[in-house]
Amino acid sequence: MTDEKYITFKREEFQEMIDDYKIVGSSKENVNKWARDHALRDSVVIRLKDEFAAAALHTYANSISVAARAIGMHAPTTSKRLSEIADYFHTQAVKSDDLAEHKLPD
């Protein structure tokens, strides 16, 4: 397996690239260079239709939720933020669960 299949960006940086006429109107090489320079190096992609995605996302959401509860009243702002993140990943896990078709990762 390699990290060559997908490329990920922060949405706001990608939008800036699209909005920047110098990049959009420039050569393929310049766009590729921008992509290489701005790609997130510490991210992975889990597609919701992946057969294992729901289990992985439920586990991730539950792990974050446990941390949020453990922090609890000692750091309520952090606990709330972690709970919101856990809710997001739980929602993604449910979406994966609900898909009619799944496939093995490729």
Per-residue model confidence as pLDDT tens digits over 84-102: 999 999 999 999 999 999 9
Angle of CA points 8, 65, 79, to nearest 5°: 95
Task: Identify the domain containing residue 66 by its residue range.
Answer: 53-98
Task: Mark whether 2 and 41 lie in a shared domain.
Answer: yes
Task: Mark whether 1 and 40 lie in a shared domain.
Answer: yes
Residue 89 lies in a domain: yes
Per the listing, tokens 């590729």 go with 32
d(CA 28, CA 31): 5
Task: Mark whether 65 and 89 lie in a shared domain.
Answer: yes
| pTM reported for the whole predicted model | 0.82
Please, which pLDDT band fits residue 28 given cuts at 50, 70 and 90?
confident
**In 3D, which of 4, 6, 32 has the Cα closest to residue 17?**
32
